[in-house]
Structure 1
Amino acid sequence: MDSVTQAALGACIGGAIASRTLGRAAIIGGAALGTLPDLDVVLDYGSAVANFTQHRGFSHSLFILVPLGVALALALHRWKPQLSLRRWLAFTLLILVTHPLLDTLTTYGTQLFWPLGSPLGSNSIFIIDPLYTLPLLFAILYGLLRPPAHRALYASLALSSAYLLWALGAQALVDSRVEDQLADRGLAEAPRMVQPMPFTTLLWRVTVLDTDERLEIVTGPFEGDRPLTVERFPRDPALIDRLASFAEGQRLIWFTDGFLDVRVRENRLLATDIRLGVPGAHPFTFVIARQDPDGHWSATASTREPRPAMRNDALRAFWSRLSGEAQVLCMASFEALPAGETCS
């Protein structure tokens, strides 16, 4: 999740555990500790792909955070012994561990067991979701004004947790909604990703990988038997194989679980993470290799391409689809259409 949300979660947990003893300092300290794992963004790992795939790595690993939490609790207990060691352990461990656990519900990917295994991401909540964050922020404000505010802090944690459960349920409903139609197309076993559209859990994006194309579907958990609009985007297996011949290409495939768009432009091999953003405005595109005049490819230290701009009317189109005013949202053009029309 975004850093504001992580700080808010840490502040509410810290306040719920220790504000009766530490007052406002428990909320402020919880917010600071809640953002600690994300400080890895200041590190430079040497290339654009390395920086992209190392984020949420060691700093989000339970193998690092649990010992760190114990060490911090012991040190803080020596500094403020009026709070019991058990509560200090609860303070540090819950704040540090819930950070990566919350991140695993997003799409980016979290290396929860670094250096072992692959990144984990359930794709169940968008990285910024006001309905999750706002209850936490209201409780923090109340807790700062009228500490210890235990009821408000506990209530906000309960509401935000219930919202996460709803997100998981909505994701399951959407997955079930598309499953039969994908089976009819022979794609029941094809890799697919079901994730919320920005800032909401009422509208979801389904991405399905076939051999030479990918399918994009936008639908919601309450849309019943409304026909699905399926858009197709080309995939080139030969370019994917070429990407896999380079070390940083292999790293990207591993990190994204293969949800990549690979293209050649101006003698450069470009790989785009199609999990994040929307078609035409994916934020992470990397140059992996370059082709010389003789047609030979050679790896290059990866660089990141500038983020493309969204259409000026993208927000209006998105709201039209979310509100039900439009029944089709074309991902290729991010254009909202009435019922019965199809994307070009």
Structure 2
Amino acid sequence: MDSITQATLGATLAGAVAGKTLGRSALLTGALLGTLPDLDVVIDYGTAVANFTQHRGFSHSLLILAPLSLLIAWGLWRWKPVISYRRWLALVALILITHPLLDAFTTYGTQLFWPFGTPVAINSIFIIDPLYTLPLLAGCLAFLVRPPARTALSLALGLSTLYLGWTLVAQQIITDRVQPALARAGLEQPALMVQPMPFNTLLWRATAITDDTRVEIVTGFLDRTPELSLEYFSRNPVLRARVADLPEARRLEWFTRGFLHYEQAGQQIIATDIRLGIPGAHPFTFTLANLSDQGLAPIPSGRLDRPAINPDALPLLWARLTGELPVLCLATLAPPAQGHTC
């Protein structure tokens, strides 16, 4: 999740655990601890792909954060022994462990068990979701006005947790909705990712991939028709095969679970993470190799500039969310021409 949400969650947890004794300083302590795992963004691992795939790595590993909690709690207890070591440990461990667990509900990928296993990405909540964050902010505000505000903090944590649970229910409903349409289209068991569109859990995007085809479906709870529009994108298995042995291509495949689009731009082969953003506005595209008459030449990966978001598309996205616009083509971020499909 975004840094504001993680800091607010940390502050809320700290206020609930030790706010009565620590007072308003509990919120600052919790907010700082809540942002601690994300400080790995300042580390330069040498290439764009390395920086992308190492983020949410060791600093988000439960195998690292659990023993680190013991050490940080001991230091805080020595610094301010007004609460017991056990209470400090509860405060620190709750904040540090809930941070990566919450991140795991997003699409980016969180290496909960680094250095073992694959990234965990449940995909049920967008990285910024006001409906998750606002109850926590309200609880912190109540605490600042009138500490210790235990009821307000408990209510805030309860509401945000219930909302997180709702994202899982909504995701399953949408999954059950799109799977029959994919089967009718001949995609019986594709790799499937179902995630919310930005900032909400009412409008969802389902992405199914095979070796040579990608299908996108946008559907929501406010749709006025049960019909689903399937939008097809070609993949490029030939380019994928050409870079398959490159270490950074393999790393990207591992991190994204294969949800990549390869293309040739001039003399370069580039790979785009199609999980994040939407077609035409995917934020993570990487250069992997140069093509020349001599063949394929690997290069240290670089990241291309993030595409600008067309502000004219925002009203269309809102209209699609509310169901006023029945179909929105992701390739163009526009409705299809009358009588046509995406």
The verdict on a shared fold, with TM-score over 0.5 as the criterion, is yes
Give me the whole-angstrom Cα distance separating, in 2, the residues matched to 1:56 and 1:337: 38
Aligned with 2:328: secondary structure? strand
Task: Answer yes or no: is the 8 Å Cα contact 2:21–2:82 preserved in 1.
Answer: yes
* Residue correspondence of structure 1 range 1-344 to structure 2 within 5 A: 1-221=1-221, 223=223, 226-292=226-292, 294-336=293-335, 342-344=340-342
Give me the whole-angstrom Cα distance separating, in 1, the residues matched to 2:206 and 2:226: 15
Task: Answer yes or no: is the 8 Å Cα contact 1:261–1:271 preserved in 2.
Answer: yes
| Cα distance change on mapping 1:296 and 1:63 into 2, 3 Å | same
Give me the whole-angstrom Cα distance separating, in 1, the residues matched to 2:2 and 2:336: 31
The offset of 1:343, in angstroms, is 3.6
Task: Answer yes or no: is the 8 Å Cα contact 1:53–1:252 preserved in 2.
Answer: yes
| Cα distance change on mapping 1:138 and 1:337 into 2, 3 Å | farther
Task: Answer yes or no: is the 8 Å Cα contact 2:215–2:231 preserved in 1.
Answer: yes
Amino acid at match of 1:319: W
Q: Over aligned residue pairs, what C-alpha RMSD do you find?
A: 1.4
Give me the whole-angstrom Cα distance separating, in 1, the residues matched to 2:211 and 2:55: 30
Aligned with 2:200: secondary structure? coil
Amino acid at match of 2:321: L
Give me the whole-angstrom Cα distance separating, in 2, the residues matched to 1:235 and 1:37: 35
The offset of 1:337, in angstroms, is 5.7
Amino acid at match of 1:157: L
| Cα distance change on mapping 1:82 and 1:224 into 2, 3 Å | same
The offset of 1:74, in angstroms, is 1.6
Give me the whole-angstrom Cα distance separating, in 2, the residues matched to 1:77 and 1:228: 57
| Structure 1 portions without partners, runs of 5+ | none
Task: Answer yes or no: is the 8 Å Cα contact 2:270–2:286 preserved in 1.
Answer: yes
Aligned with 1:330: secondary structure? coil
Give me the whole-angstrom Cα distance separating, in 1, the residues matched to 2:307 and 2:60: 29
Aligned with 1:301: secondary structure? strand
Task: Answer yes or no: is the 8 Å Cα contact 1:328–1:341 preserved in 2.
Answer: no
Amino acid at match of 1:78: R
| Cα distance change on mapping 1:281 and 1:295 into 2, 3 Å | farther
1:40-89 Cα offsets, whole Å, 9 max, x none, are 00010000000000000000001111111011112222222221222111
1:309-339 Cα offsets, whole Å, 9 max, x none, are 122311111001111211111100111469x
| Cα distance change on mapping 1:291 and 1:89 into 2, 3 Å | same
Task: Answer yes or no: is the 8 Å Cα contact 1:318–1:336 preserved in 2.
Answer: no
Task: Answer yes or no: is the 8 Å Cα contact 2:175–2:194 preserved in 1.
Answer: yes
Give me the whole-angstrom Cα distance separating, in 2, the residues matched to 1:25 and 1:310: 39
1:190-235 Cα offsets, whole Å, 9 max, x none, are 1010000000000000000022110000002464861100100011
Give me the whole-angstrom Cα distance separating, in 2, the residues matched to 1:205 and 1:322: 11
1:97-146 Cα offsets, whole Å, 9 max, x none, are 00000000000000000000111100000000000001111111221121
**Equivalences, count:** 342
1:254-274 Cα offsets, whole Å, 9 max, x none, are 000000000011110000000
Amino acid at match of 1:181: A
Aligned with 1:28: secondary structure? helix
Task: Answer yes or no: is the 8 Å Cα contact 2:19–2:148 preserved in 1.
Answer: yes
Task: Answer yes or no: is the 8 Å Cα contact 2:223–2:323 preserved in 1.
Answer: no
The offset of 1:184, in angstroms, is 2.1
The offset of 1:243, in angstroms, is 2.4
Give me the whole-angstrom Cα distance separating, in 1, the residues matched to 2:276 and 2:207: 11
Task: Answer yes or no: is the 8 Å Cα contact 1:260–1:273 preserved in 2.
Answer: yes
Task: Answer yes or no: is the 8 Å Cα contact 2:222–2:323 preserved in 1.
Answer: no
| Cα distance change on mapping 1:246 and 1:254 into 2, 3 Å | same
Give me the whole-angstrom Cα distance separating, in 2, the residues matched to 1:225 and 1:333: 22
What is the aligned-residue identity percentage?
A: 56
Aligned with 1:141: secondary structure? helix
Give me the whole-angstrom Cα distance separating, in 1, the residues matched to 2:336 and 2:215: 18
* 181-190 vs 144-153, greater mean Cα deviation: 181-190
Give me the whole-angstrom Cα distance separating, in 1, the residues matched to 2:240 and 2:220: 31
Amino acid at match of 1:66: A
Amino acid at match of 1:124: S
